[in-house]
Structure 1
Amino acid sequence: MSAAYDPNNIFGKILRGEIPAHKVYEDDVALAFMDIMPRAEGHVLVIPKEGARGLLDVSPATLGELMKRVQHVARAVQAAFQADGLTLHQFNESAGGQVIYHLHFHLLPRWDGVALRPPGTMADNERLAEQAGKIKAALTPFEG
């Protein structure tokens, strides 16, 4: 059994507007924004607005709706960066690689022959803003 959800995690603070983020998509279910330590150009995080620690804690109804948004944003990410493919990461609890305990999905555009960067390097803020703009421009209207 996992620990209880703590709304004071960094993603909870982003949802409340206490910490800025380069948002690419937002509605009543989800928020998508640029990862500040991207492992690939165009690395986006998609999180539910529901407070859930991980995959096993989120309500099934929210998870179903969230995945529609993950797919929607993924299409825009792939188009914006003319990626050959996408990698989707989702980690649960420390043993599973989770570092921030708010359910989140990583969308990483991928290109043939290009490896992911190692984790832990902060991105340039202006570059993140530029990439967010490219993704927003590639978004089509959401038809959930």
Structure 2
Amino acid sequence: MGVALSITAFPVLARILAELKLLTTQLGEIATAAAALNDVAAWILLALAVALADSNTGGHKNPLISVWVLLSGATFVTFMFVIMRPAMKWVACRCVPQQDAVDEAYICLTLAGVLVSGFITDLIGIHSIFGAFVFSLAIQKERTFLFW
């Protein structure tokens, strides 16, 4: 219960900082980064708690399921930053806007990556939003890849 309550209302925090014109300041960047790290840690702990609770159903306890979720989640995050981040950087370099429009193939590739990442984390036993969030971190925040 404590893990679930510790998750930050990230959009609310960003909206408050934007309305106070603090979002682009150093304080706003620190608050946003801290909230993002807090959310990642809380989602991982929540996934472990759910996996442990699921392992206690059926009359037998199997704590190895929570170890599986932890190791698989760490492998997924490592894969996203070691393999997918350079791949998405390559995609961003090839994505040259033509007349203020981006090729639909790059948009489809990005959306497919979000969906596949969510599906993989759902298979692992972590909520699918965590996979989409990690994939969004793998996308380069360069001007050439911002298409909306």
Q: Same fold (TM over 0.5)?
A: no
- Relative to its length, the structure with more helix (as a share) is 2
- Relative to its length, the structure with more strand (as a share) is 1
Q: TM-score, normalised by structure 1?
A: 0.27
Q: Larger C-alpha radius of gyration, 1 or 2?
A: 2
Q: Which has the higher contact order (CA 8 A, sep 6+)?
A: 1
Q: TM-score, normalised by structure 2?
A: 0.27
